[in-house]
A and B are shown apart, each in its own frame.
Chain A
Amino acid sequence: MRNLFFITLIYCLVNMASASSQEVPKIKNDPAWLQKKIEEIGEKIKTGVSHIEVPELILPSKVRERLVLRAGPGITQRKIHASNKTEDNLLAGGFTTSFTYTPHLQWEVGIASYIYFGKIDRLEYAVNGNTVHGNGSFRSTTFLPIVKYITDISPKNAWNLYLTGGPAWSLQSFKLQSFIDSHGVVRNHHKITYESRGAVIGFGFQEMLMYKELHAAYVEFLYSYMEAHKVNLVDSSDFTKVQTVSYDDQKSPINGNIFMLNFGIVLF
């Protein structure tokens, strides 16, 4: 199974490498075509594009123009449930990115990541018989393959409504206070991490601009439901090599409902 996965991976990577070169065709030696391109560039300058890449003049590339990297800040609000009915309302900030391909004017597919970090108050957890108290920093990293459908609904000029979503995988970390483990040993510099699975759905508005160089903006509101399936107690005293002290396979909705507000721009 692993070998099959690896062979597929190598095959895909080699094809990607060749596609990367194929996406840039040879320079055309056609004065009429070149003149047309120069006029197009002139139009772009009139519309306020500050930077025009050379290949746009001589090498139009469909694949490259359809790949879009977006990034921007975001905030999240979530209720964290822990053991012994302890819970905390968390409001955290972070950084979000997405890299998508546009196969159709109204569809985008790609991958996205949401990273948030904040502070939590005293929460109580149970891992393999150890009761531990967490406070201090909270970190969450979520990855998902996304599909985006851009509707024709445009409440403001050139801002279109879109719907988005996809299955999500997440890792959340909580810094811990010193605690006494089930063997009576005092432990410091530990953290609890939850691996969760779930899904993200949401809607947003994005500027529909003709060229990526105009750095179209977007704003989106997302809702996510996640269920933890594995909890790890991790010794992070040596930052070069963290060690998992113990783990539990469990299914508990520790982060049932997560709300996210993200905004940003097209970088390229």
Chain B
Amino acid sequence: MKGSLIVIFVSLFICQVLGQSFAYAEVSPAQSGQKESKLGQSRRPKYFYSYFDRSHERQESLHYIAAVYAMSWGFYPLTQPKTFMRDGSFRNYRHNFGRLVFDQDEPFWNWFVHPLSGSQLYLFYRANGYSRSSSLGMSFISSTLFEFTVEIYSEPASVQDLYQTPILGAVLGMGLEGISMYLLNTGNPVGKFFGHLVNPSTLFWFYEGKIQLSPTINRWGGPGLNLYAEF
């Protein structure tokens, strides 16, 4: 467990350092003077995946924070139903409100789950056009709100989570960003699949408009959601 964590962090760190160079090191056959095969033509990427940082109005930033905050209220009970049902209560919420402790959690949570969620938050904001520093800042705001106003339903806010979710999340997110951009730009369907898998924010409408989600009413009159996805 510990060994694999070290391997993951070291590999991502190396990928992060090298990522920029190998992501931009491809040379097309036309440039190298070779004749391109049919397979090569079919594998030639249609789009060049990258991130373009842009300006954001204050209202837009607040919308993103509100959206992530609303999602965290949905995701928390869904991803940790046992903890939510067993330890969660509004009495605990009142008791934990404003408390900050060192949690005693296992490394699996503090060094893997929280940085992983932080990395996806970071990549969400990157996909929405925030720069790296701004993405880290926005992840910090979102994870702090989660710690102080959502997770306290079952446990007090933790020092480790407050720091490690955005900071280790950004380090991990940078590694995943480099890997996913490299894989997406290979033009290879398997590469694209894994590129989207490690960086799911690249699938959503705010990045390339390939997924649409719309509300619907089914034939029995119940509410539902239509999901349209294009690969």
Contact = CB atoms under 8 A, between A and B. Distances in A.
Contact of B131 (A64, A95, A195): A64
Contacts of A67: 133, 136-137
Given A21-B58, A24-B56, A268-B174, A13 B145 contact: yes
Given A67-B133, A113-B163, A241-B86, A171 B58 contact: no
B134 interface: yes
Nearest to B12: A71
Contacts of A171: 102, 160
A145 to B, nearest CB: 11
A69 B82 contact: no
A143 interface: yes
Contacts of A234: 104
Query: In the complex, which range does the number of interface residues on chain A fall in?
Result: 35 or more
A6 B17 contact: no
A18 B164 CA distance: 23
Contacts, number: 143
A26 B54 CA distance: 9
Contacts of B86: 241
Contacts of A201: none
A61 B55 CA distance: 11
Contact of B10 (A6, A14, A73, A241): A73
B167 A97 contact: yes
Nearest to B159: A143
Contacts of A265: 17
Contacts of B171: 69, 71, 97, 267
A152 interface: no
A209 interface: no
Interface centre among A95, A111, A242 (most CB of B within 10 A): A95
Nearest to B164: A113
A21 B2 contact: no
Interface of A: 1-3, 5-6, 9, 13-14, 16-27, 50-51, 53-55, 59, 61, 63-64, 67, 69, 71-73, 93, 95, 97, 99, 111, 113, 115, 117, 137, 139, 141, 143, 169, 171, 173, 193, 195, 215, 232, 234, 236, 239-242, 244, 265, 267-268
Interface of B: 2, 6, 9-10, 13, 16-17, 20-21, 24, 52-58, 60-62, 65, 80, 82-83, 86-87, 97-99, 102, 104-111, 130-134, 136-138, 140-141, 144-145, 148, 159-160, 163-164, 167-168, 170-171, 174
26 contacts: A2-B97, A2-B99, A13-B144, A16-B137, A16-B141, A17-B138, A20-B141, A21-B60, A24-B53, A25-B55, A55-B131, A61-B131, A63-B133, A64-B131, A64-B133, A64-B134, A67-B137, A99-B136, A111-B167, A115-B111, A117-B107, A171-B102, A171-B160, A215-B17, A241-B83, A267-B170
A-B interface, 10 closest residue pairs, ranked by CB to CB distance from nearest: A2-B98, A24-B55, A268-B132, A67-B133, A64-B133, A18-B58, A21-B56, A171-B102, A21-B58, A21-B61
Given A2-B99, A14-B62, 15 more contacts: A2-B97, A6-B98, A20-B130, A20-B138, A21-B61, A25-B55, A50-B24, A51-B24, A54-B52, A69-B170, A99-B136, A111-B163, A195-B102, A239-B108, A267-B170
